[in-house]
Amino acid sequence: MKKTIKTFTLGFLLVLAAILFASCGYEPVFYGIMHDVAPEEATVNGNITSIVRCQINSEEYLVLSNGGSVAYKPLSASKHGEWKTDNIKLPFITHHYNYFPTSTEPEGHIGQQILRVIADQNNIYLLTATFKQDNDYGIVLPDTIYFWTCPINSLLSNSAEAWTNIIETCEAFPAVTFDSSNWQMNIGVFFTNTPKPEHRKAFISVTDPESKEVSYYKLNGSSAPEAEACSNYVQIYDKSKKINSAFYIGDTLYFTDSIAVATNETIDTNATLACIGGVNKNSNKNFDVFYYQGSDAPVSFIELGSPVASLVFTADSIIIGKGSYTASYTSNGGIDRVLLDENRMPQTTVADFDNNAKYQFTSSYIIMALLNADPSQKEADSDLYAAISYRGSGSSSSASFNNIGLWSYYPARGNWNRE
């Protein structure tokens, strides 16, 4: 009898296991496990809002910031662990909170936090802010806004004197304010970030606090910004005319209200196609990606269920980073890809990744920035970078604080992993 019971129990457990695996979709589970990889040591952590191309003394570099230090690496460095922070001396104390006041440093928020890094062909720019505690609302707000610039060829000189605060030194610089009623500053920055150095331009937008009119300027190092007419405007959102991005097709500069734009420009060829993230005009819930060729209207080629936060071209695909900056917590992030056809035009369906991208960049993460070191290479042969973060505590979206930072894909490694 005991033998019969044992046999029955073993059979029951096997059947139960089969049912559970079938009901849970064991194939995707095991497929995800098979695509998991041993993590690299995380060396570039924090919220990274841009990955910037810079040509320093005729050599191409990538430059970024996690809010504190500025890190750099040669564009050609196709392996983990190459980012450095030495040789860059900033003209300010980086932001920290001092819990133990002294005669020289009071309690509270000390120093400046880097909010954004952008660059044009000859200069790099840092948008920074100091912070203060608003005890009435129990929140921390920006106190003073700074806008620093440095000639790119002086970036690695290890000299704080190479930097200039344009807001302070340039009399023609537009007035910069912070509206505590809606927690917004009246300045915005954007840049082209193209593979071709001659196409690298940087801009600021300044909103008048009273009239709410927006003016645009092309940055010119430490000299006065030049008023920009933004004549080639490509509107994507029906309710927005504020420009958030600039891009080249051929040698013509275009502007758009979308925050997510990428082109197929390479170091050797001008762009013939731009992809732009936008909204589905027929639905309040879905979002589109458009292509634009420099004439006629943008054409929607794929519909998504999440806002587009970043885009990047490879020679055979377009990678789409998703996520919302306005949601209270991240549940609509993640990453997709669309293949290009034989005419290098985007197809109309999402394609599976050939690597582990989908399992590292789940819907819990905003893909804040994407970059391909050489867009002339196919996806599998490209050095790719992604900066990810999330909104909320992470507990409601299964996000991990340890994953915030820079990720990379290198052909020799064959997978996405931490930088």
Specify the pLDDT at position 2.
42
Specify the pLDDT at position 91.
96
Per the structure block, which two tokens stand in for 205?
């937008």
Of 137 and 58, more confident: 58
Specify the pLDDT at position 36.
61
Tell me: pLDDT of 129 over 60: yes
HSE-up of residue 383 (Cα within 13 Å, Cβ side):
13
Burial letters for 42-74: b for 16+ Cβ neighbours within 10 Å, e otherwise? eebbbbbbbbbbbbbeeebbbbbbbbbbbbbbe
Specify the pLDDT at position 395.
62
* Angle CA 278–279–283, to nearest 5: 165
Specify the pLDDT at position 368.
98
**Rounded to whole angstroms, how far apart are CA atoms 171 and 406?**
37
Pairing of strands 366-372, 334-339: unpaired
Sign of CA dihedral 283, 288, 291, 294: positive
Average the pLDDT over 261-272 and give the result.
98
Average the pLDDT over 198-206 and give the result.
97
DSSP β-bridge partners for residue 54: 61
Specify the pLDDT at position 34.
46
Say what the pTM is.
Answer: 0.89
Distances in Å between the alpha carbon of 347 and those of 15, 193, 309? 43, 25, 20
* Nearest CA among 102, 115, 3 for reference residue 49: 115
Is residue 347 within 8 A of residue 366, CB to CB? The reply is no
Tell me: pLDDT of 245 over 50: yes
3-state percent helix, strand, coil for the chain, nearest multiple of 5: 15, 40, 50
Tell me: pLDDT of 169 over 60: yes
Specify the pLDDT at position 174.
84
In this prediction, residue 397 has a pLDDT band, given cuts at 50, 70 and 90, of: low
Three-state secondary structure string covering 282-335: CCCCCEEEEEECCCCCCEEEEEECCCEEEEEECCCEEEEEECCCCCCCCCCCEE
Tell me: pLDDT of 24 over 60: no
**Rounded to whole angstroms, how far apart are CA atoms 312 and 373?**
10
Specify the pLDDT at position 239.
78
Is residue 279 within 8 A of residue 240, CB to CB? The reply is no
Tell me: pLDDT of 137 over 80: no
Predicted confidence (pLDDT) per residue in 209-239, tens digit: 888 899 999 999 999 999 999 999 999 987 7
Tell me: pLDDT of 32 over 70: no
DSSP β-bridge partners for residue 321: 310, 335
In this prediction, residue 181 has a pLDDT band, given cuts at 50, 70 and 90, of: low
Q: How many helices (H) and strands (E) does the chain have?
A: 4, 29
Specify the pLDDT at position 182.
65
**Rounded to whole angstroms, how far apart are CA atoms 210 and 203?**
22
DSSP state of 46: S
